[in-house]
Amino acid sequence: MKNMYFIAIIAMLSLSCKKDQAVSARNENNGVTDKKAIAAVSTIVFSGITWNVKDLGNSTVGPGPNYWSGSSVWVDAQGFLHLKLRKDPATGRWNCAEVYSQQKFGYGSYVWEIEGRPDQLDPNLVFGLFNYKDGDDGHHEVDIEFARWGNSQWPNFNYTVYPAYGDPETRDSKTYELALNGTYSTYKFTRTNQTVAYKSYHGHTQSEANSFYAYQTPAGFPVSTEALPVHMNLWLFRGNAPSNSQEVEMIIHSFKYTPQ
């Protein structure tokens, strides 16, 4: 019995360590402080919202740092948004994709319907759905991120909320191992002046029968009370090429914000 208890304690410590390492890796060199380095040369309309398209040409900026190209972003005839990690055959560069809303959004629910397998992304890839305040790095940010942060042994699904003020290291983060049952999935967070609540779903539904990984920030955590833009991106952790050398495409069928 004592041996089993000892093994259980070691397993819990190992899981906690992995979580801390993953969060540390996320912020060590992925360019949280570089997120402000954003340029847009074009816009798209998706889900009734106008989005700026991140395009830096020959420059590399964070997160990553990476190259960002407008050719990696488009809306198809059905109105679905495509984000694609592309390899430029002429230069050999991997071009990442990001859009961010011109409009700012406050309290309410944020829901994305996704097509693809973000649970099967290469360990060097990151797919993000988030609120972010430009120019105040480490604060006013609410994230859903599919990423192993370069380590195939780390969990691949991350909820993170940065505080409205104070030490960014006090962020609240929860990680999970994600295994979807198909190519359709839905992700949601709800912001109030006191909490951020997350819930995800198999399929394009919000049926409780299909829900998984519900989480809420603890009481007293200083969540952002500001209206913030919405970002969606697909990029390479530390700018490292996919270990499988494969291009990747994620399709967002819809984004819906419902004010509270």
* 75-114 residue pLDDT tens: 999 999 999 999 999 999 999 999 999 999 999 999 999 9
Largest CA distance in the chain: 64
Rounded CA-CA distance 229/220 in Å is 24
Burial class (CB in 10 A: 0-12, 13-18, 19+), 78: exposed
Examine the pLDDT at 31 and tell me if it is beyond 50.
no
The model's confidence at residue 57, banded by pLDDT at 50, 70 and 90, is: confident
Range of the domain at 199: 2-259
Mean pLDDT of 191-195: 98
d(CA 162, CA 40): 25
| CATH code for the domain in which residue 163 is found | 2.60.120.200
* Residue 117 pLDDT: 98
Question: Average pLDDT for residues 232-237, to the nearest whole number?
Answer: 98
3-state secondary structure at position 167: coil
Please check whether residue 147 is in contact with residue 126, taking contact to mean a CB–CB distance below 8 angstroms: yes
pLDDT for 108: 98
Q: In total, how many domains does the chain have?
A: 1
208 has pLDDT over 90: yes
How buried is residue 9: exposed, middle or buried, by Cβ count under 10 Å (0-12/13-18/19+)?
exposed
Of 11 and 257, which is predicted with more confidence?
257
Confidence at residue 91, expressed as pLDDT on a 0 to 100 scale: 94
Tens digit of each residue's pLDDT (9 = 90 or more) over 141-166:
999 999 999 999 999 999 999 999 99
- pLDDT at res. 4: 40
Strands 67-68 and 94-101 turn out to be parallel
